[in-house]
Amino acid sequence: MGINVQFRPMTIHDIDEVVRVEQASFTAPWSRESFYNELMYNRYAKYIVMVYNGRIIGYGGMWLVIDEAHVTNVAVLPQFRGQKLGEALMRCLMDMARQRGAATMTLEVRVSNHVAQSLYRKLGFRNGGIRKRYYPDNFEDALVMWVKLI
């Protein structure tokens, strides 16, 4: 990692900056209300932000249910990509899930997103199946990937 970043839990005060990262990263971004509801009402949700020079440049989230972690979102601002920050963010989520008792972690990734798939494979994720027409913006299929954490 070329730059010094910090990770910390996401709060409702971070939502506007997180939405900016989300909008810069995805064609079907989550709304401000979605993040608010995750933080305020979803007891299974755990979100972290990645901060550089006082600014949120990435974030990640997951749901922790019993012994399974389901990654909901991972994003890094485009201008900060290619510096292994996504890997650092995923490793942080994986460590957090392990510490909270998760034995496995799963996620969905677009079948066309080979860069992300490569990162996930580097972290030990394996293909688990396909969710047909998963993404609402263009009905692209999602590749479901799994990793054992313990």
Alpha carbon of residue 144 to chain centroid: 14
89 CB neighbour count, 10 Å cutoff: 23
Local structure of 92: helix, strand or coil: helix
| Residue 132, φ and ψ in degrees, nearest 5 | -65, 135
Cross-sheet strand order for the sheet of 45-52: 6-9, 45-52, 55-65, 68-76, 104-110, 142-148, 126-131
Nearest CA-CA partner of 100 in 63, 128, 126 = 63
Contact between 146 and 106 under an 8 Å Cβ cutoff? The reply is yes
Catalytic residues: 108, 120
